[in-house]
């Protein structure tokens, strides 16, 4: 399935309706991504029109110019394609993990690219965009927590801290505990983190995180 945008500038957030063919069943949309209905028109001949410009206007990292519009198109396309394959809602659905793993395999060892994909999906699943179900949001965060040991070992400190800072508050503490445990073994990074009291410029925001600076173990 492809999302074909109208010929408007990517920075223009006026309505730009895009027809989507392989759209999930209504009960799947309502169960997992009901927010997309706020940016869509009624079905016509089995197709749904989505106002991508208005939808993406709700994404903070796109508005800030941190991430590219093409990444949002690609991630939304992947998510809708995965949901389209469902015939009915499934308890404890886990589709974000394979989507993230697919992105990781495209660029092995490129943690910065995976960070951008994680941030993009996080924007899309937010209540202001797709208003995704808790299991989709938890599945996305669980994937990062599962990979965080490897991320903290291999990625630059500014990148690994960015992953943790994007986690929801209830998972942030777990993420920081995993990261700190690994960074302690990288003496130079650990010394830098302690000396700065967590005031490390994060890769995406280019600013330190107040949550990280307040973390009790730094």
The per-residue pLDDT of the chain, averaged, comes to: 87
Mean pLDDT of 47-72: 90
Structural domain that includes position 205 = 156-218
Question: Over 90: is that where the pLDDT of 195 sits?
Answer: yes
pLDDT of 4 reads 30
pLDDT of residue 175: 97
E strands, the chain, are 17-20, 40-44, 47-51
Whether residues 114 and 162 share a domain: the answer is no
60 shares its domain with 112? yes
Tokens, residue 136: 């989709």
Confidence of residue 153 (pLDDT cuts 50, 70, 90): very high
Give pTM, 2 decimals. 0.87
Q: Look at residue 3 in the predicted model and tell me its pLDDT.
A: 33
89 pLDDT exceeds 90?
no
- pLDDT of 20: 56
| Residues 122, 166: Cα–Cα separation, whole Å | 8
**pLDDT confidence tier of residue 44, bands split at 50, 70 and 90:** low
> Do residue 26 and residue 100 come from a single domain?
yes
3 belongs to a structural domain: no
Which of 145, 178, 204 represents a domain boundary (last residue)? 145
State which of 145, 172, 201 marks the end of a domain: 145
- At 126 the pLDDT is 96
Alpha-carbon gap, residue 162 to 157, rounded angstroms: 8
Structural domain includes residue 54? yes
Q: What is the mean pLDDT of residues 25-42?
A: 90
On whether residue 5 sits in a domain, the answer given is no
Residues 160 and 133 in one domain: no
Looking at the structure, tell me whether residues 131 and 164 fall in a common domain.
no
pLDDT digits (tens, 9 = 90+) for 155-175: 999 999 999 999 998 899 999
* Tens digit of each residue's pLDDT (9 = 90 or more) over 64-79: 999 999 999 999 999 9
Q: In what order do the strands lie in the sheet with 17-20?
A: 17-20, 47-51, 40-44
Residues 6+ apart with CB under 8 A from 128: 35, 58
Residues 88 and 170 in one domain: no
DSSP-derived secondary structure letter, 118:
H
């Amino acid at each position: 399935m492809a999302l074909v945008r109208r010929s408007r500038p990517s920075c223009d957030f006026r309505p730009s309706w895009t027809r989507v063919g392989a759209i999930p069943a209504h009960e799947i949309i309502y169960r997992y991504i009901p927010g997309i209905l706020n940016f869509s028109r009624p079905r016509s001949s089995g197709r749904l029109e989505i106002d991508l410009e208005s939808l993406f206007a709700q994404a903070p990292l796109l508005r800030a110019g941190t991430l590219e519009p093409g990444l949002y198109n690609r991630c939304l396309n992947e998510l809708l394609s995965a949901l389209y394959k469902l015939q009915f809602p499934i308890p404890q659905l886990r589709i974000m993990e394979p989507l993230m793993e697919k992105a990781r395999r495209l660029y092995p060892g490129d943690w910065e690219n995976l960070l951008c994909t994680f941030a993009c999906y996080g924007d899309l699943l937010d209540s202001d965009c797709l208003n995704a179900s808790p299991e989709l949001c938890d599945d996305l965060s669980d994937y990062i927590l599962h990979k965080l040991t490897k991320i903290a070992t291999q990625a630059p400190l500014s990148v690994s801290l960015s992953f943790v800072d994007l986690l929801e508050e209830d998972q942030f503490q777990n993420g920081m505990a995993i990261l700190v445990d690994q960074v302690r073994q990288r003496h130079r990074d650990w010394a830098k983190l302690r000396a700065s009291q967590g005031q490390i410029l994060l890769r995406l925001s280019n600013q330190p995180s107040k949550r990280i600076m307040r973390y009790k173990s730094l």
